[in-house]
Amino acid sequence: MIIGTRGSRLAMAQADLAVQAVQGLPGNMRPEIKIITTCGDRDRRTPLEDMGGYGVFTKELDQRLLAGEIDLAVNSLKDMPSSLTPGTRLLAVLPRGPACDVLVSKVPLEQLPPSSVVGTSSVRRKALLKHFRPDLQVTELRGNITTRMNKWRRGDYQAIVLAEAGLDRLGDQTTRFAIDPAEWDPPAGQGAIALVCRDDDASMNIIAELDHAPTRRCVDLEREVMKGLGASCQVPIGVWASPCPGGLLLRCLWLAADGSWARRFERVVGEGEDTGVLVDGIRRQWRWEV
């Protein structure tokens, strides 16, 4: 079995987690890792929203899957479009790590001095920073986690925003401040690792045993909401589902790109509830237009 992944430290760490999980299944499988360079890896300067958004880190892996060069792709689920590439399927989602963002800084967000330079490549994070701290200078920051951390360490930025799950998986102990996901809503799928295969590859069905049901229920709802809204990475939106009594607590946040306004939606979603009706309710409440 050949497992495809990007070559960053975080991608390799996540691929190693997938390999360990696969090796724990019956069948004496011997996975090998193949590194795939994506367009998002080659171009580290262009803002992600100008590169086409979701898929810039996963499209090439899907192409290699469909060409038969790899058998399984390991992705950060938050990087995947809500509509899968035809001919592929989301076979399994590993147990979710923390879904929240963190501020890598010497002080929490509220204590940053006015005009501090804060770096991020995410449209959602930029809008959130401008909404909560309009006095900061929010600037573009591309590159893998190592690159971004190095830029912060040498003083190019007073703070940067990253996903806590990524830092945890790299074992990075740098001082950081968690940002409450109930106020600072994470993107759909953040913290989850996705295993993707060809839709017609029955030999991969055993991998479905790795699917973590609680995580899968949450991320499926998040992705269905994003798909129903037709939202892309050019839209500053967070969608986060978490288990609660009675079902899943769904929190959604849509912001103006300049942070001037924010619209929230929060509701417990019961098992089997019609997602189409749910999304229609969000559209009406928000007066959704994209």
Length of the chain in terms of residues written: 290
What is the residue range of 17's domain? Answer: 2-96+192-212
Q: How far apart are CA 270 and CA 289, in angstroms?
A: 26
What is the domain-level CATH number for residue 105?
A: 3.40.190.10
Strand ranges across the sheet with 193-198? 32-35, 2-5, 72-76, 193-198, 88-93
Give the residue carrying structure tokens 């690159």: 147
92 and 24 co-located in one domain: yes
On whether residue 258 sits in a domain, the answer given is no
Residues annotated as catalytic are 79
Q: Tell which residue, 120, 126, 117, 121, has the closest CA to residue 157.
A: 117
CA 94 to mean position of chain CA atoms = 13
What is the arithmetic mean of pLDDT over 173-193?
94
pLDDT attached to residue 52: 54
| Phi, psi of 145, rounded to the nearest 5 degrees | -60, -40
Are 98 and 165 in contact by the 8 Å Cβ rule? The answer is yes
pLDDT attached to residue 51: 47
19 and 73 co-located in one domain: yes
What is the arithmetic mean of pLDDT over 131-142?
96
What is the arithmetic mean of pLDDT over 196-216?
96
In DSSP terms, 88 is beta-bridged to 198
63 and 129 co-located in one domain: no
Are 200 and 212 in contact by the 8 Å Cβ rule? The answer is no
pTM of the prediction?
A: 0.93
Number of domains in the chain: 2
Mean pLDDT of the chain: 93
Q: How far apart are CA 20 and CA 169, in angstroms?
A: 14
More confident residue, 275 or 234: 275
What is the arithmetic mean of pLDDT over 211-229?
97
